[in-house]
Chains A and B, each alone.
Chain A
Amino acid sequence: MSRSERDATRIVRLWLEEGATALPDRVLDAVLDQLPATPQRQPFRLAWRTPIMNNTVRLVAAAAAVVVVAVVGYQLFIAPSVGGPDASPSPSVPAATAAPGDTAGSAPGEFTACIPANSETQAGTDETVVVQHPEGDMTVERRRGFTWAGAISATDERFSGRHHLSWDGDQYTLASGDPGPTVAAEGIRIENDQGAWQGGSTYVELPDGTVAGGMMVLTGEGAYAGLEAVMFGTDGPCFLDWRGVVIEVPAIPVPYTGA
C-alpha cells in the first residue's frame, strides 16, 4: 500500500530529527585557532580602491600628462595669438584651474572625485552556480544588477553632479573550498546641468588580493562632447574615491603583425 504524501513527509521529518546536534568543542577550538592565519576577503567595492598601477598604466598616465601639458600650454600661450580673442573655446582639454578647490600641486587636467556613503538603490541578484573545470568543479557566486545612485563631487566641477553606478561580478570558489578569482565589470554615468560622462571598466581580483584593471574610461556628452577622461579608484575617506585626468585617449592601435 502506498503511503500518503503527508505520511511520508512526517516520517522523513522524524528521521531527520536523528543525528548529532552539538558541535564538539575541539572543532570550534580549531576554527578559532585558525582565525589569525585566515585573512578576511574584503567587499567587492574595495577593489575599486586598489587597482594595480603596472608599468603599462604608468606609461599611459605619464603620456597622458605630457599630452595634457602640451595642449594646455598650446592653448594658453600659442592659440590666443593664432586664433585671436574671438576664437571659440575648445572643449578638447580642460585648463588646470577649471575646478574650484583643485588640489595644489596636481597635474594639469587632473581631478579627484568622491562618492560619499550612499544607499544601494537596487540589490541585484545573487546566484550560486557550479562551473565544470578539469581540476574539479568550481562554484561561482554570480551577482548581477547591483546599482547605486546619488551625489558625486569632484575637484573638477564637470565631474560633479549625480552618478549612476552599476556592477556585475563573479566570485569563484575552487573545488577545494579555497577562494578563486573574482572578475567584475562596472559602468558609471555622471550627469549635471552641462552634460554627462559615461564609461566603465573590468577588473580581476586574484586570490592573493592582487587587483588588476579597474581603470574607467569615460566619454563626454553635451558640453563635454569630444572629451574623454580616465580615472581609477584610490584610497580615501569616501564610499568611493577616484583620481583621474581629462585627456584625449588615443584609439587602440591595430596590432602590428608584420604585414
Chain B
Amino acid sequence: MDTDLVVQAQRGDEEAFASLAVAVGNRLHAVAHRILRDLDLAEDATQQALLNIWRDLPQLRDPARFEAWSYRLLVRACYAEARRTQHWTPGLQLVEADEPMSDASASVADRDQLERAFRRLSVDHRAVVVLHHYLDMPLPEVAESLGIPMGTARSRLHYAMRGLRAALDADARPASREVAR
C-alpha cells in the first residue's frame, strides 16, 4: 500500500482516497461477501466501510497500517449491516461463485453444511475465520486488525472452526452409515 497516498488522503485529498479505494475496494468487498454471505449486504457494507474509512482516516496514526485498519472498519460495517437487516441470518442462500470450486473434495453437500454452520456464527466469529483462512492473515495480525486481544482471536477461531468441522462431520456420518448397511 502506498503510504504517501494514505497521508494525502488523511489530509483530505479526495483523488488520493479514490486511488486507495480502488486499491482496497475489491478485497474489502470480497471479505464482506464472505462474512455476510449476501451480495447486496456486502455491497452496502463495503460502501459504508469505505465512507467510514474516509471519515476516520485522519485518526489513523500509522499510515503503514492502513490495510489492517481498514478491515476493522469493514467488519464494523458488516456488524451494523447484519443488525440493520433481518433476513441475513435465517434461510440458506448459496453464494454465487465467480469461479467454480477447483477441488472436488469440497462437495455440494459440504458446501451446504458449511453454509448453514457458518450462518450460525456471529459476525465477530466469521470475521476471524475469513481474515485468517481467506486472507491468510496470521492470528496476531487478525487480532490487531480487529482490535481484539490475541486470546480472543484464538478463542473465536477455535470456536468457529469447531462448529464448521462438526458440520462437515455431520455431513459425513450418514454416508458412513450407508456404507455400513
Chain A interface residues (CB < 8 Å from chain B)? 1-3, 5, 8-24, 27-28, 30-32, 34-36, 38-44, 120, 123, 126-128, 136-137, 139, 141, 171, 173, 175-177, 179
Contact = CB atoms under 8 A, between A and B. Distances in A.
Interface residues of B, number: 65
B95 A19 contact: yes
Contact of B54 (A30, A35, A177): A35
A83 B77 CA distance: 70
B176 to A, nearest CB: 5
B55 A12 contact: no
Contacts of A14: 101-103, 105-106
B66 interface: no
Nearest to B94: A18
Given A12-B114, A41-B59, A35 B168 contact: no
Contact of B80 (A19, A27, A171, A175): A175
Interface string B37-71: 00100110011101110111111010000000000
B14 A32 contact: yes
11 contacts: A1-B176, A16-B133, A19-B98, A21-B26, A27-B25, A41-B59, A42-B58, A43-B58, A44-B59, A123-B61, A177-B52
Contacts of B33: 19-20
B146 interface: yes
Contacts of A3: 165, 168-169, 172
B47 A30 contact: yes
Which 4 interchain pairs have the tightest Cβ spacing? Answer: A128-B147, A23-B29, A23-B25, A8-B165
Interface string B12-36: 1010011001100110111001100
B178 interface: no
A16 B134 contact: yes
Contacts of B77: 177
**Most chain-B CB neighbours within 10 Å: which of A8, A41, A123, A179?**
A8
Contacts of B130: 16
B54 A38 contact: yes
